[in-house]
């Protein structure tokens, strides 16, 4: 039960104390881990991800004066603004994710949020905040919102208020998670299904605390490179090309000479990732977890050499994972440029693997990384109200 989470009780008590009333609604949204399929969502490709057992709670109650008062309970900062005219803030960037959601669901409100997703870890604390805020505000004001539309509202908040041109993977993963399964999403049709991960394996997340600031522009530049490459392939291939989803590895090999070496490397990453997700889903269906783990290693190598969205901290952990008994695969998770590595490991070996990885990281960088076992969990929902 989400009400067993400590952040829920802390948030509810602080809301009562600061706002002197009970919240009308509390919603919860989990973070997500991307297991296979890196930067494929905005290329209309496929992703395997999971909602996880850390997340964010959002509590709110109505106001009649058109003011939106929002508190980040972890840092005890509050901002106030007119609900009808939210604007992005440089002084309080954490508020932009909620402001962007409010642009789709505009009403006055007293609101507060708190969670336990490590910030900058690559587990998408931003999408969790967008989704729990959207669910809570929609319930508070009796607005019916389809889950995919809610995901789009969260994505629009990232685009227009945070400046990150993300796909829909983070929001969909948070909404459509189910206990013990991965979320397989086709980002062309937006078809979603839950795929069992297997009882004998679990996911280990190793947070490097390396800088993970996608708003610096690297994420957007990678997306621009993919879009540029797709436009090029549309001019040379004999079939329609709307996104890199429409380009095969064989077509890339045949026509990459028309791109610069850099653009060709950028393009093959999502093309190859899409193939790996399709193969990975087949391997999971046959319980070939060792084969699935090998695809995770291949995915990271492509991130490192082709897309160049890895970093020394992430690379060290992936290489350190290879010889550890019980570890089947490892790769960076999420946008990259820092954050976390996700490790597929046999459950009986997970604790020892986490300790070994933390020690290896400490030897290389002076302090251990954080390693914890993640449980694929249920998606976002209203907890109270």
Residues classed as catalytic:
170
In angstroms, the Cα distances linking 242 to 253, 254, 265 are 19, 19, 19
- What does the CA dihedral 8, 10, 13, 19 come to, rounded to 10 degrees? -90
Q: Is 370 exposed, middle or buried (0-12, 13-18, 19+ CB in 10 A)?
A: middle
Contacts of 172 (CB under 8 A, 6+ apart): 49, 148, 151, 183, 185, 190, 192
Task: State whether residue 343 is helix, strand or coil.
Answer: strand
Q: Do residues 227 and 346 touch, judged by C-beta distance below 8 A?
A: no
User: What SS3 class is residue 77?
Assistant: strand
Query: How far is residue 331 from each of residues 22, 61, 193, 228, 335, measured CA to CA in Å?
Result: 43, 41, 23, 26, 12
Place of tokens 């945070």: 162
What phi-psi label fits residue 115: left (phi over 0), alpha (psi between -120 and 50 degrees) or beta? beta
Residue entry with tokens 């399964």: 181
Q: How big is the CA angle at 1 (ends 12 and 24), to the nearest 5 degrees?
A: 35
The Cβ of residue 76 has, within 10 Å, a number of other Cβ atoms equal to 9
3-class DSSP assignment, residue 281: helix
Cα separation, 227 vs 247, in Å, equals 12
- Give 148: exposed, middle or buried? Use CB within 10 Å, 0-12, 13-18, 19+: middle
Contact 136, 110 (CB under 8 A): no
């Amino acid at each position: 039960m989400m009400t067993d989470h400590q952040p829920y009780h802390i948030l509810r008590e602080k809301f009562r104390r600061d706002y002197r009333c009970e919240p009308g609604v509390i919603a919860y949204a989990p973070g997500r881990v991307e297991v296979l399929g890196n930067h494929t969502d905005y290329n209309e490709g496929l992703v395997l991800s999971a909602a996880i057992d850390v997340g964010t709670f959002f509590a709110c109650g109505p106001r009649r004066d058109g003011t939106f008062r929002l508190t980040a309970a972890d840092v005890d900062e509050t901002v106030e603004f007119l609900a009808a005219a939210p604007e992005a803030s440089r002084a309080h960037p954490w508020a932009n994710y909620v402001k962007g959601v409010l642009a789709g669901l505009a009403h006055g409100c007293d609101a507060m949020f708190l969670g336990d997703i490590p910030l900058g870890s690559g587990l998408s604390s931003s999408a969790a905040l967008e989704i729990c805020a959207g669910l809570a505000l929609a319930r508070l004001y009796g607005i019916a919102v389809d889950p995919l539309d809610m995901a789009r509202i969260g994505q629009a908040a990232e685009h227009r208020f945070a400046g990150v041109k993300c796909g829909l993977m983070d929001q969909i993963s948070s909404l459509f998670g189910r206990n013990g399964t991965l979320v397989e999403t086709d980002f062309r049709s937006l078809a979603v299904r839950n795929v069992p991960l297997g009882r004998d394996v679990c996911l280990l997340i190793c947070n490097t605390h390396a800088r993970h600031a996608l708003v610096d522009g690297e994420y957007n530049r990678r997306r621009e490179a993919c879009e540029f490459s797709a436009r090029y392939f549309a001019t040379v291939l004999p079939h329609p090309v709307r996104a890199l989803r429409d380009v095969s590895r064989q077509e890339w090999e045949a026509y990459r000479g028309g791109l610069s070496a850099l653009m060709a490397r950028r393009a093959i990453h999502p093309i190859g990732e899409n193939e790996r997700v399709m193969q990975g889903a087949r391997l999971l269906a046959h319980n070939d977890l060792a084969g699935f783990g090998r695809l995770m290693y291949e995915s990271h190598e492509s991130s490192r050499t082709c897309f160049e969205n890895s970093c020394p901290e992430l690379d060290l952990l992936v290489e350190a994972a290879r010889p550890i008994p019980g570890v089947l695969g490892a790769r960076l998770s999420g946008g990259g440029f820092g954050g976390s590595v996700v490790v597929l490991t046999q459950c009986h070996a997970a604790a020892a693997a986490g300790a070994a990885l933390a020690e290896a990281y400490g030897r290389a960088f002076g302090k251990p990384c954080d390693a914890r076992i993640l449980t694929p969990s249920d998606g976002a929902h209203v907890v109270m109200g």
